[in-house]
């Protein structure tokens, strides 16, 4: 470097092992063939991940079948295994799980109830929005016009002291319930409502009722200026812990022999509740439907997916850098499906 | 769109930076105070493994102001500067590198003399905040290297015909503090956040030991001496490295033009 006076260029990806590490974290590690997965398929997925033309921002790919971790690889550094990673909008799916837990405890049993019926004060000056129901919030149909780029800047940087009133002061693009429009405001309103009604934030609920039963000890979940957990993004977890959340869905809400999330909620959340034609996938309660694989997926910006293929009893995680632009190959759910395809075809 | 505008505004405000070490060479006689300006064209390379282990390289420029004071065998100089470089990595994704800095120095003039060459020896202190907006890889956070360092510096002068001098200098930071982004950034969105210009780079300061920080700067050029003004044209090499918490390199090859005008009485 000193001779040519150049800063050395580095490699984005390194060919680390794909054999899962044995750790004391509730994951049982196994060989793919023991779980009836053809290793050649996983090798093909590995090569796709390491393609020079795609998945530049990928950090990790993990695969579990039959509740056994069979594939685990990190493209940058194996230290990523023990780091907390921001999963962007995959956070919404955890908000959904907490909502399910709360419903199982007797909260929010009627999803057709309006948010205003629980919390009238913020709606006093917003009568048009008082018709927004919990179901609208869960299915991105509140009608509030607050796009996600503005949401990130205004909620994280500007930090309004009364986030709920701030969100509700935004204009409407449609009457409540009329139209799907994917945005962060809806899950965030739901998060604030949970705090208001239960006296605990989503993060507090998740810590004891979701993460603890899954054996997740380390996480970070951001808050707004009023202390509400960010309902749409801001959750950081370790890769193997993220995969546990996928396994929880596959097991219909059961983890370590305990019903953590009601089975009925999992069923509702992971079936079509909204048609999202503009995006190309139908939407449950903060989950995306991928019917060609009998699967559902979370979808976080940059390429962060927890993919649950029920028919194959497979859970996958693609973890990527969270703040890259969406033009990269590998950052959208359709980009990930070819990898999914080779893995599922390898399942006997 | 609004976000892009905000990012652009942030960039414009940050577009301040750069300087010219060579501006510290001033006329050997004439007025005691000199004020001047500094212009430079930069070939910049930046790599921050906190984000991606890729070299961003490109070009840009700087604009700065300087003041020097000289009396008897002592010279003091202060330069401030601001700049911007447009950089891309090997895949063509763009970014901006935005240095903002200030340097103060003091020299004992004529510390050593040989037949024609004179060496001035001194100390310098440099504060620099280099912000990198590598927005195609991270549109939510800045990456930065803030350094406040001091060390010895030496300048040599070799007279040339027609009121010209060949000049050269080297700067070796030995002591200081540096600021880098934390290894784990939990705030989802930090752009645009004005405190990131100055405040954030100083939240995570570390002692700049040789183990985690290395830097060197040097220049060589020609100076024209007039009655009340001097002009300098020089090449500068400017390098910073840190491995805290992840590796960062900042390397600039710089062509600098300075003009200083004498004010006040003769030294």
Q: Which residue has the tokens 């405890």?
A: A105
DSSP character at residue A4: T
The structure tokens listed for A64 are: 């579990």
For A291-313, what is the mean pLDDT?
97
The structure tokens listed for B108 are: 């004992």
Q: Which of A72-76, A240-244, B10-14 is predicted least confidently?
A: B10-14
| B45/A149 touch (CB, cutoff 8 Å), yes or no | no
Distance of CA A156 to the CA centre of its chain: 19
Q: Which residues of chain B have pLDDT under 70?
A: 1-30, 194, 265-267
Distance CA A250, CA B13 (A): 50
Bigger pLDDT: B114 vs A104: A104
Cβ-proximal residues to B63 (8 Å cutoff; 6+ apart), any chain: B18, B37, B38, B39, B81, B82, B83
User: pLDDT tens digits for A247-295?
Assistant: 999 999 999 999 999 999 999 999 999 988 888 999 999 999 999 999 9
Distance CA A162, CA A170 (A): 13
Burial letters for A3-20: b for 16+ Cβ neighbours within 10 Å, e otherwise?
Answer: eeeebeeeebbeebebeb
Residues 31-90 of A with CB under 8 A from B: 56-57, 76, 83-84, 86
According to DSSP H, which parts of A60-211 are helical?
91-104, 115-118, 134-138, 148-152, 163-168, 185-198, 202-206
B138 and chain A: CB distance < 8 Å anywhere? yes
Reported as a pLDDT band with limits 50, 70 and 90, residue A323 is very high
Closest CA to B64 of B201, B261, B259, B252: B259
According to DSSP H, which parts of A105-183 are helical?
115-118, 134-138, 148-152, 163-168
| B187/A156 touch (CB, cutoff 8 Å), yes or no | yes
The structure tokens listed for A151 are: 């949401």
CATH number where B152 lies: 2.40.128.100
Cβ-proximal residues to A216 (8 Å cutoff; 6+ apart), any chain: A210, A237, A238, A241, A244
According to DSSP H, which parts of chain B are helical?
2-14
The structure tokens listed for A117 are: 């019926």
Three-class SS of residue B23? helix
Which of A59, A90, A153, A187 is the best mutation test for B, with the most CBs of B within 10 A? A153
Nearest C-alpha in B relative to A155: B189
Three-class SS of residue B239? strand
Residue A53: Cβ within 10 Å count: 8
Q: Which residue has the tokens 């939990």?
A: B186
User: pLDDT tens digits for B24-43?
Assistant: 665 566 678 999 999 999 99
Query: CB-based burial of residue B195 (10 Å sphere; 0-12 exposed, 13-18 middle, 19+ buried)?
Result: exposed
Distance CA B69, CA B66 (A): 10
| A324/B140 touch (CB, cutoff 8 Å), yes or no | no
The structure tokens listed for B105 are: 């120095």
Count of domains in chain B? 1
Three-class SS of residue B66? strand
Q: Which of A110-119, A325-334, B168-177 is predicted least confidently?
A: A325-334
Bigger pLDDT: B108 vs A304: A304
User: To the nearest whole angstrom, how far is the Cα of B134 from the nearest Cα of chain A?
Assistant: 10
Three-class SS of residue B224? strand
The structure tokens listed for B242 are: 């840190």
Residue B82: domain span: 2-266
Q: Which residue has the tokens 């995959």?
A: A90
| B136/A325 touch (CB, cutoff 8 Å), yes or no | yes
User: pLDDT tens digits for B84-99?
Assistant: 999 999 999 999 999 9
| A6/B251 touch (CB, cutoff 8 Å), yes or no | yes
Distance CA B238, CA B254 (A): 8
User: pLDDT tens digits for A120-173?
Assistant: 999 998 999 999 999 999 999 999 999 998 998 899 888 899 999 999 999 999
Q: Is it true that the peptide bond before B245 is cis, omega within 30 degrees of 0?
A: yes
Provide the CATH topology of domain A82-345.
Answer: Beta-lactamase (3.40.710)
User: To the nearest whole angstrom, how far is the Cα of B169 from the nearest Cα of chain A?
Assistant: 18
Q: What is the pLDDT, as a whole number, of residue A276?
A: 87
Closest CA to A96 of A327, A332, A342, A273: A273
B90 and chain A: CB distance < 8 Å anywhere? yes
Q: If you count DSSP H runs as helices and E runs as strands, how many of each does chain A have, helices first?
A: 12, 12
Domain coordinates in residue numbering, chain A: 82-345
Residues of A in contact with B140 (CB under 8 A): 152, 323
Q: Considering CB atoms only, which of B45, B141, B193 is closest to A7?
A: B45
User: pLDDT tens digits for A16-36?
Assistant: 999 999 999 999 999 999 999
CB B100 within 8 Å of CB B148: no
């Amino acid at each position: 470097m000193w001779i040519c006076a150049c800063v050395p260029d580095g490699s984005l990806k390194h060919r680390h092992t794909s054999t899962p590490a044995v750790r004391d974290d509730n994951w049982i590690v196994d060989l793919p063939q023991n779980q009836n997965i053809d290793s050649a398929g996983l090798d093909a997925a590995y090569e796709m991940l390491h393609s020079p033309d795609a998945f530049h921002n990928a950090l990790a790919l993990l695969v579990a079948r039959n509740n056994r971790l069979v594939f685990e690889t990190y493209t940058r550094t194996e230290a990523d295994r023990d780091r907390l990673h921001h999963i962007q909008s995959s956070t919404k799916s955890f908000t959904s799980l907490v909502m399910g837990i709360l419903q199982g405890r007797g909260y929010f049993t009627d999803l057709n109830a309006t948010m205003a019926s629980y919390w009238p004060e913020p709606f006093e000056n917003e009568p048009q929005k008082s018709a927004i129901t919990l179901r609208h919030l869960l299915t991105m149909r509140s009608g509030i016009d607050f796009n996600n780029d503005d949401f990130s800047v205004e909620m994280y940087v500007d930090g309004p002291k009364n986030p709920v009133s701030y969100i509700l002061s935004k204009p409407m693009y449609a009457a409540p319930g009329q139209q799907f429009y994917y945005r962060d405001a809806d899950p965030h309103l739901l998060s604030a409502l949970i705090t208001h009604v239960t006296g605990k934030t989503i993060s507090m609920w998740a810590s004891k009722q979701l993460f603890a039963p899954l054996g997740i000890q380390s996480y970070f979940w951001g808050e707004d200026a009023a202390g509400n957990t960010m309902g749409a993004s801001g959750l950081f977890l370790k890769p193997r812990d993220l995969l546990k959340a996928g396994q929880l869905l596959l097991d219909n809400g059961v983890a370590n022999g305990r019903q953590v999330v009601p089975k009925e909620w999992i069923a509702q959340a992971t079936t079509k509740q909204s048609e999202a034609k503009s995006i190309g996938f139908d939407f449950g309660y903060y989950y995306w439907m991928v019917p060609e694989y009998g699967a559902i997926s979370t979808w976080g910006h940059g390429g962060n997916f927890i993919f649950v293929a029920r028919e194959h009893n497979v859970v996958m995680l693609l973890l990527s850098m969270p703040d890259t632009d969406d033009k990269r190959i590998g950052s959208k759910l359709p980009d990930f499906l070819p990898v999914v395809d080779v893995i599922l075809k390898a399942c006997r | 769109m609004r976000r892009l505008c905000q990012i652009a505004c942030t960039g414009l405000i940050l577009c301040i930076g750069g300087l010219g070490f060579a501006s510290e060479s001033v006329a050997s006689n004439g007025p005691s105070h000199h004020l001047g300006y500094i212009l430079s064209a930069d070939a910049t390379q930046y790599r921050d493994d906190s984000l991606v282990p890729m070299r961003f390289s490109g070009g840009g420029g700087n604009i700065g102001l300087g003041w020097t004071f000289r009396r008897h065998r002592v010279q003091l100089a202060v330069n401030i500067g601001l700049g911007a470089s447009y950089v891309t990595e090997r895949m063509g994704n763009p970014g901006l590198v935005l240095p903002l800095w200030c340097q103060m120095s003091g020299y004992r003039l004529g510390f050593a003399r040989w037949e024609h060459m004179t060496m001035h020896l001194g100390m310098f202190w440099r504060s620099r905040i280099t912000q990198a907006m590598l927005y195609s890889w991270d549109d939510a956070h800045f990456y930065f290297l803030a350094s406040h360092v001091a060390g010895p510096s030496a300048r040599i002068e070799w007279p040339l015909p027609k009121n010209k001098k060949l000049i050269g200098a080297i700067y070796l930071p030995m002591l200081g503090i540096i600021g880098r982004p934390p290894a784990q950034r939990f705030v989802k969105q930090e752009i645009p956040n004005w405190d990131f210009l100055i405040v954030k780079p100083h939240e995570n300061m570390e002692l700049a030991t040789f183990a985690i920080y290395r830097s060197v700067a040097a220049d060589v050029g020609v100076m024209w001496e007039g009655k009340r003004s001097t002009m300098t044209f020089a090449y500068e090499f400017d390098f910073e490295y840190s491995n805290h918490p992840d590796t960062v390199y900042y390397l600039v090859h710089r062509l600098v033009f300075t003009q200083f005008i004498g004010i006040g009485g003769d030294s």
